[in-house]
């Protein structure tokens, strides 16, 4: 965090500029949607789902002469382009400089749901970008060829609970979106957190495009219901479908009454068609 009057080290690549403050708030925007820190917040269209963020107080950052090399990136900033969150690749890791204090007094960023994802991405950025993989729910993922172990284990980091273990050759197909960690193992049960010298990788799983796709029955029958009586109604719009379902639900009690009356009529016909003597035998045996 860049504080007023606090010089920043030269290897950060930025210096602290003049203070910026506004009681009504200054709009904050994403300056680099392709940044690795936004990977888990990025939609298929490339937009970052951070939400509306405003800053009440800030200490914008100014790149030093020669900054902007490979590995340097301005992540967040004000509408006029002044930088609020900066990152630079340093050695085998990554370091960040912020012109915002992560408190509600400075901005609304800590109150946004996306802030948790952003903070987590910043905390895990020490492992380079190639230590993660982007998956799609429902598709099988195989560990890298560099993993010579025969087995691996997958655990949920955030999202739905996942605890899975299997062979590398079979791969892993996540059922739902979330963030998971994969760790190699020489044998089943050996991939446990905290055991050193085993390759590990973060898996970012997004929902499949096939989820939520509307599919309609073609023709007047359903092949799976070939042996049962059924009908296929035409679809026009959701309102018409809802109206038809409610009409069927309202008619259901009437069908039960009609069925009961039909059965009562059949029973009355059976009794009327049975001769009296035969009925007496059926009721109490033959009379003497």
Residue 212 lies in a domain: no
Say yes or no: 32 and 109 in one domain.
Answer: yes
**Please, which pLDDT band fits residue 278 given cuts at 50, 70 and 90?**
low
pTM: 0.46
Say yes or no: 169 and 259 in one domain.
Answer: no
Domain boundary among 184, 206, 228: 206
Residue 183 confidence (pLDDT): 86
* Share of residues in the chain with pLDDT > 70 (%): 81
Q: How does 240-256 read in b/e, with b if 16+ C-beta sit within 10 Å?
A: eeeeeeeeeeeeeeeee
**Please, which pLDDT band fits residue 4 given cuts at 50, 70 and 90?**
very low
Q: Count other Cβ atoms within 10 Å, centred on residue 179.
A: 20
Query: What distance lies between CA 137 and its chain's CA centroid?
Result: 9
Say yes or no: 14 and 118 in one domain.
Answer: yes
**Please, which pLDDT band fits residue 193 given cuts at 50, 70 and 90?**
very low
Angle at alpha carbon of residue 91, lines to 129 and 84, rounded to 5°: 70
How many domains are there within the chain? 3
Domain boundary among 104, 127, 150: 127
Structure tokens at 195: 């055991």
Query: What distance lies between CA 227 and its chain's CA centroid?
Result: 39
Please report the DSSP string for the chain in residue order: ---TT-PPPGGGSEEE---EEEEEEEEEEES-TT-GGGGGGB-TTS-B----EEEEEE--EEEPTT---TT-EEEEEETT--EEEEEEEETTEEEEEESS-SSTTTBSGGGSHHHHHHHHHHHTTTS-GGGEEEEETTS-B---TT---SEEEEEEEESS--EEEEETTT-B--SS-EEEEEEEESSTT---TT-SSS-EEEEEEE--TTTT------SSS-GGGTTS---------HHHHHHHHHHHHHHHHHHHHHHHHHHHHHHHHHHHHS-HHHHHHHHH----
Write the pLDDT tens digit of every residue in 232-262. 877 777 788 888 888 877 766 666 777 888 8
Residue 283 lies in a domain: no
For residues 98-120, give the mean pLDDT.
Answer: 87
Residue 164 lies in a domain: yes
Q: How far apart are the first and last CA of the chain?
A: 111
Write the pLDDT tens digit of every residue in 159-185. 788 899 988 888 899 988 888 888 888
Residue 85 lies in a domain: yes
Residue 68 confidence (pLDDT): 59
Between 184 and 131, whose confidence is greater?
A: 184
Give the domain extent around 20.
10-127
Query: What distance lies between CA 224 and its chain's CA centroid?
Result: 32
Residue 28 confidence (pLDDT): 94
Write the pLDDT tens digit of every residue in 139-148. 888 887 767 7
Residue 201 lies in a domain: yes
Write the pLDDT tens digit of every residue in 60-81. 998 887 665 656 788 999 999 9
Say yes or no: 29 and 93 in one domain.
Answer: yes
**Residue 181 neighbours by CB under 8 Å, 6+ apart:** 154, 155, 157, 200, 201, 202, 203
Between 46 and 75, whose confidence is greater?
A: 75
The residue with tokens 């915002």 is 100
Residue 106 lies in a domain: yes
pLDDT at 128 over 50: no
Residue 281 lies in a domain: no
Residue 217 lies in a domain: no
pLDDT at 211 over 80: no
Structure tokens at 6: 């606090």
Residue 249 confidence (pLDDT): 74
Say yes or no: 260 and 182 in one domain.
Answer: no
Q: Lowest-pLDDT range, 70-79, 133-142, 196-205, 210-219?
A: 196-205
Domain CATH number, residue 30: 3.40.50.880
For residues 85-103, give the mean pLDDT.
Answer: 86
């Amino acid at each position: 965090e860049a504080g007023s009057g606090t010089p920043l080290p030269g290897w950060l690549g930025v210096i602290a500029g003049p203070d910026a403050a506004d009681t009504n708030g200054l709009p904050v925007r994403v300056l680099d949607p392709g940044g690795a820190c936004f990977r888990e917040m990025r939609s298929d269209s490339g937009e970052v789902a951070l939400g509306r963020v405003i800053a009440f107080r800030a200490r914008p950052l100014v790149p030093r002469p020669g900054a902007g090399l490979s590995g340097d990136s301005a992540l967040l900033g004000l509408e006029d382009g002044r930088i609020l969150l900066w990152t630079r690749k340093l050695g085998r890791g990554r370091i960040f400089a912020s012109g915002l204090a992560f408190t509600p007094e400075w901005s609304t960023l800590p109150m946004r749901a996306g802030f948790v994802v952003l903070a987590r991405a910043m905390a895990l950025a020490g492992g380079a970008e190639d230590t993660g993989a982007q998956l799609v729910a429902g598709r099988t993922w195989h560990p890298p060829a560099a993993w010579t172990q025969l087995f691996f284990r997958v655990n949920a980091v955030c999202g739905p609970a996942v605890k899975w273990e299997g062979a590398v050759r079979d791969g892993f197909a996540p059922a739902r979106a979330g963030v998971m960690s994969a760790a190699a193992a020489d044998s089943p049960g050996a991939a446990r957190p905290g055991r050193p010298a085993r390759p590990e990788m973060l898996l970012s799983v997004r929902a499949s495009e096939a989820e939520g796709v509307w599919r309609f029955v073609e023709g007047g029958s359903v092949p799976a219901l070939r042996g049962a009586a059924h009908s296929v109604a035409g679809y026009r719009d959701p309102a018409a479908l809802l109206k038809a379902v409610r009409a069927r639900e309202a008619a259901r009690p009437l069908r039960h009454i009609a069925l009961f009356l039909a059965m009562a009529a059949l029973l009355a016909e059976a009794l009327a068609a049975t001769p009296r003597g035969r009925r007496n035998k059926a009721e109490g045996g033959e009379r003497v």
